[in-house]
Amino acid sequence: MNIIYKLDVIPEPEAVIELFANANLKRPNEPERIALMLKNADLLVTAWQEDKLVGISRTITDWAWCAYLADIAVFTDLKSSGIGKEMIAITREKLGPQCMLILLSVPTAFDYYPKVGFNKEDRAFSIERTK
């Protein structure tokens, strides 16, 4: 399996929608909204198998204190292949040691994140979106 990782390449929204659906992540399926999500990200890491998008990591950050890993998705049949772990490692390298990396996990990934270096936190709050 030959996976190529690319930084700040903005994939076609339709490819991202397909990836999110395959990874069982509930995300918008409107190309215009996905395009805005990608355009406004501070750091994108994508994983490609030949010309097929098989993984994406999308981060929003101030580059000085904290970074929010808004999305990480890998095609279902490639999970456990190390793609997610590598995208997180690339993200951490680009952010530098001064940035805390935080995320909100889907319930099915609770066991995954401690394996790749995240600490479980009990001190977060959120206000849900209405759309």
Domains present along the chain, CATH in parentheses:
4-115 (3.40.630.30)
Residues 6+ apart with CB under 8 A from 69: 57, 58, 59, 88, 91, 101, 102, 103
Measured distance CA(108)–CA(5) in Å, rounded: 25
**Would the pTM of this model clear 0.75, i.e. be above it?**
yes
Task: Report the alpha-carbon distance of residue 116 to residue 87 in Å, rounded.
Answer: 11
- Averages of pLDDT over runs of 10 residues in the chain (131 residues) are 92 97 92 97 97 97 96 93 96 96 88 90 85 80
Q: Let me know: does 71 contact 58? Beta carbons within 8 Å.
A: yes
Question: Can you give the pLDDT at residue 106?
Answer: 84
